[in-house]
Amino acid sequence: MRNKTLQTALILLSSYSPFLLAQSTGAGGDFTIFNNTANNTVVGFYTNEGSGWSSNWLGEDLLPNEQAKASFNSDGYCEQTLQVGWLANDGGEVLDEPIAIDICEASNVYLEDNDIFFD
């Protein structure tokens, strides 16, 4: 399994990085996204704390059975909404329904064929 790192653009830190500005997560500030699908490629990972969607956090596609990591700083905002974009047959992006996540309690997001969950 290859590990990847989520793209962290410092320009976005003040306005669009709720993911980077959240409180320390379960594993000392580290957050991992696991693509546990057999055939689906993740092409987008977006967060929203209520003020609009972030830019795509992935610097490159996340293939089946790969994972990506990010580190977070403390700002006190735990409740986030995330949305995953999958590679479409035509090369575009198909977005999943947004889901709520408490990143102060969770340190892993698991993407499966018909489910997204965290712990």
Length of the chain: 119
CATH of domain 3-118: 2.60.40
pLDDT tens column, 60-98: 999 999 999 866 544 556 777 889 999 999 999 999 999
- pLDDT of 44 reads 94
Rg (CA), the chain: 13
Residues 95-104 have a mean pLDDT of 86
- The structure's pTM equals 0.73
Please tell me which residue, 101 or 60, carries the higher pLDDT value.
60
- Would you kindly state where each structural domain of the chain is located, as residue ranges? 3-118
